[in-house]
Amino acid sequence: MARLSDARRVALSLVVERRLRGARMRELMRGSAALDALGPRDRAFATRLTFGAVLAEGLVRRLIEARRRPGVRLRARVRDALSVSAFELLYLSTPTDVCVSQGTELARRADPHAADVAHALLRALASHDLPVIEAARGRVAVGGNDEGDLALVAAVPPVLVRELVASRGRPFARELLVSLSEPAPVYVAANHLVQGDDEAARLLDAAGLDPRPVGMGGSFALGRPAGLARSGLVDDGRVVPADLSSQLVAAAAAPAPGESLLEVGQGRATKTLLMESCVHSRGGLARIHAIDASPFKVDLARGRLGRLGLGERVSCQVLDGRKVAEGGLAFAPEGGFDAAFVDAPCTGVGTLRRHPEAVWSLADDALGEALRSLGALQTDLLRAAATRVRRGGTLVFATCSPLRHEDEDVIRAFLASPEGGDFSVRDVLESAGLAALGPRAVTLARDLAGPTDLEGCLCVRQRLGGPDAHFCARLVRGT
C-alpha cells in the first residue's frame, strides 16, 4: 500500500466538506486549518487539486459513469475521492502510475472496500480518456480552437464554449478557456484613504507578499499571496484584495469628490471601498448610498465600512434594486444622484477560476435559462437606477461575465426602454476616475480590452496569468 500524500488527503477532505455543507470552495479554503498546516508546496498543490476537482466535476462525473461497470455502486465519498484523482490524472502532469496508486489510497480512505473499484476505474480513464484529452490539448497548444477540443481541455460544458465563441469570437474564448488551467492571480489595491502607493508597497513587501506594480496607480499583483490574510493588511484596510478588472470597473464608476452616487448590488463593499479610495486620490470623498437585496451582505458591508471609518460617507440599505424607482431609498438627493453604479448579479463566467462551482451549474439548458432570467433582472436594475440619476449624470453598468446576453444586449435593451431614452454610451476608457489612476492605467485598460460591438464599452480579456473577464458600460444622461 502506498502512503497517501498530505496534499491529496486535505484536498479530499475539502471536497467532501463542500458537498456536505454546500459551501463555496473559496470560503471553505479560507478557514481551513488543515490547509494552513501544509507547507507552501503542498498547500499550492492541494489548492490546485481542490479547485480543479470542483471545476472539472461535471466532466469527470460523466466519464466515470461511462466507465463504471453496471451494478457497481459508488458511495458519495468515493465519488469525491475519484473526482480529485481523476482530475489529477486527466489534467495535471503527474505520472499515471502515481495518480492511480494515490487515487486508490484516496478511495480506500473514503471507503476501505472501494480500493479495487477505484483502481479499475482510474486505469480505465487512463487507457481510454486520457489519450483523447491529451490529443485535444496538443491541438489547442498549437493554436487549435475547435469548440469540442476547448470544452475538453478546459473541462467545461460545451454549451459554455459555444456561448463564449458566439459572444466574443474564438480567439477570446480560447484565451479564457486556456486560462482556467492555472489559478487566478491575486491582486490588491492600495487603500488611498489610509496611505500612498509607496507605503502600501513597503508594507506588502515587509509581509513577504512580493508585490509587483501592474502599471495602474496603487495596484499590485502578489508573487507570494499565501500570507495575505495572515498579514493583517486586509483587516486593517491598508489594502483591498480585488481582481484588477474589478479595480478598473470601480475606477470607471467612481464619481468626482463631493458628488453623490447610488450603488446597486454592493455585495461586501469591495468596489465601494475602491471607489472611495479612487475619489480620495482626486482630493475628497463621495457620498455613496449603497443597496443590496441580501441582508447578510449589507450587514457585512456596513461593518466593514464602519471599521474603516467610512460610516459617515457611505450608507448601506437592504433593498431590491428593481424598487428604487418607487421610493424606499433611505437617502435620495433632490434632483437625483450625480451618478449610479449597477454592479449586476450575473453568471460569473469571468470569475470561474475563483468560483469553480459555477461551471457545471451552467451545463446544457441551465446556461440559456440563467442568461434569460439574469438578462431581464439586469435590464430592470438598470432601468430602475436610471430614474435616480440627475440630468447630465452618469450611469455605469458592470458584470463579471463576457457573455453578450448579459452585457451589450442588456445595454441595448436599456437604451430602447423609456428610462434609457435620454442616455447615451460614453467611452469607459475616458472616465475621469480611470484617468486619476495615471496615464498608464488607461493604456493598461486598452491593452486588456477585448472585442465589443458597442463602441465605448469595455470587455476585459482573460488570459493566462491575467485578470478576470469583466464587462463595463458607461452611460451619460442628457441635460
Residue of 103, 157, 265, 450 interacting with ligand SAM (CB under 6 A): 265
- Candidate segments 21-29, 49-57, 107-115, 268-276, binder of ligand SAM by CB under 6 A: 268-276
CB half-sphere exposure, 173, CA atoms < 13 A: 26
Segment holding 341, helix H or strand E: strand 337-343
Residue of 255, 321, 375, 466 interacting with ligand SAM (CB under 6 A): 321
Cβ neighbours of residue 379 closer than 8 Å, sequence gap 6 or more: 410, 413, 414, 417
Q: Minimum distance between the CB of residue 43 and ligand SAM, rounded to whole angstroms?
A: 26
Going by the DSSP 8-state scheme, the letter that residue 182 receives in this structure is S
Closest residue to bound ligand SAM by CB: 267
- The answer to whether residues 291 and 318 touch, using CB atoms and an 8 Å cutoff, is yes
- Candidate segments 96-104, 123-131, 262-270, 462-470, binder of ligand SAM by CB under 6 A: 262-270
- The answer to whether residues 154 and 359 touch, using CB atoms and an 8 Å cutoff, is no
Question: Rule CB under 6 A: is residue 317 a binding residue for ligand SAM?
Answer: no
Only one residue has cell 431590491, namely 320
Interatomic CA distance for residues 208 and 206, integer angstroms: 5
Residue of 4, 229, 256, 293 interacting with ligand SAM (CB under 6 A): 293
Interatomic CA distance for residues 275 and 252, integer angstroms: 9
In the structure, how many helices (H) and strands (E) does the chain have? 21, 12
Q: Minimum distance between the CB of residue 131 and ligand SAM, rounded to whole angstroms?
A: 40
Closer CB to ligand SAM, residue 225 or residue 321? 321
Question: Rule CB under 6 A: is residue 292 a binding residue for ligand SAM?
Answer: yes
Question: Rule CB under 6 A: is residue 355 a binding residue for ligand SAM?
Answer: no
Q: Minimum distance between the CB of residue 409 and ligand SAM, rounded to whole angstroms?
A: 18
**Please, which residues bridge with residue 315 across strands?**
289
Restricting to residues 325-344, which ones interact with ligand SAM according to CB under 6 A?
Answer: 343
- Report the 10 Å Cβ neighbour count for 474: 26
Residue of 189, 264, 275, 314 interacting with ligand SAM (CB under 6 A): 264
Question: Rule CB under 6 A: is residue 271 a binding residue for ligand SAM?
Answer: yes
- Report the 10 Å Cβ neighbour count for 109: 18
Residue of 94, 181, 294, 317 interacting with ligand SAM (CB under 6 A): 294
- Candidate segments 94-102, 192-200, 319-327, 405-413, binder of ligand SAM by CB under 6 A: 319-327
Residue of 185, 217, 237, 345 interacting with ligand SAM (CB under 6 A): 345
Residue of 19, 61, 322, 412 interacting with ligand SAM (CB under 6 A): 322
**Please, which residues bridge with residue 291 across strands?**
264, 317
Q: Minimum distance between the CB of residue 272 and ligand SAM, rounded to whole angstroms?
A: 7
- Candidate segments 219-227, 260-268, 403-411, 420-428, binder of ligand SAM by CB under 6 A: 260-268
Candidates 397, 253, 376; CA nearest to 322 is 376
Question: Rule CB under 6 A: is residue 270 a binding residue for ligand SAM?
Answer: yes
Interatomic CA distance for residues 433 and 412, integer angstroms: 24
- Candidate segments 11-19, 116-124, 156-164, 320-328, binder of ligand SAM by CB under 6 A: 320-328
C-alpha angle 83-52-465 in degrees, rounded to nearest 5: 170
Q: Where in 146-283 does DSSP place strands (E)? A: 187-190, 211-213, 219-222, 239-241, 260-264
Only one residue has cell 469571468, namely 350
Question: Rule CB under 6 A: is residue 315 a binding residue for ligand SAM?
Answer: no
Closer CB to ligand SAM, residue 338 or residue 343? 343
- Candidate segments 190-198, 254-262, 264-272, 446-454, binder of ligand SAM by CB under 6 A: 264-272
Closer CB to ligand SAM, residue 17 or residue 343? 343
- Report the 10 Å Cβ neighbour count for 13: 18
Closer CB to ligand SAM, residue 13 or residue 272? 272
Interatomic CA distance for residues 348 and 401, integer angstroms: 5
Closer CB to ligand SAM, residue 26 or residue 297? 297
Residue of 144, 183, 241, 267 interacting with ligand SAM (CB under 6 A): 267
Binding mask 208-247 for ligand SAM (x = CB under 6 A): ----------------------------------------
- Candidate segments 155-163, 165-173, 266-274, 469-477, binder of ligand SAM by CB under 6 A: 266-274
CB-based burial, 354-375: b 16+ in 10 Å, e otherwise: bbbbbbbebbeeebeebbeebb
Angle between helical axes of 147-154 and 158-168 (0-180°, round to 10): 120
Question: What residues make contact with ligand SAM under the rule CB under 6 A?
Answer: 264-268, 270-271, 291-294, 297, 320-322, 343, 345
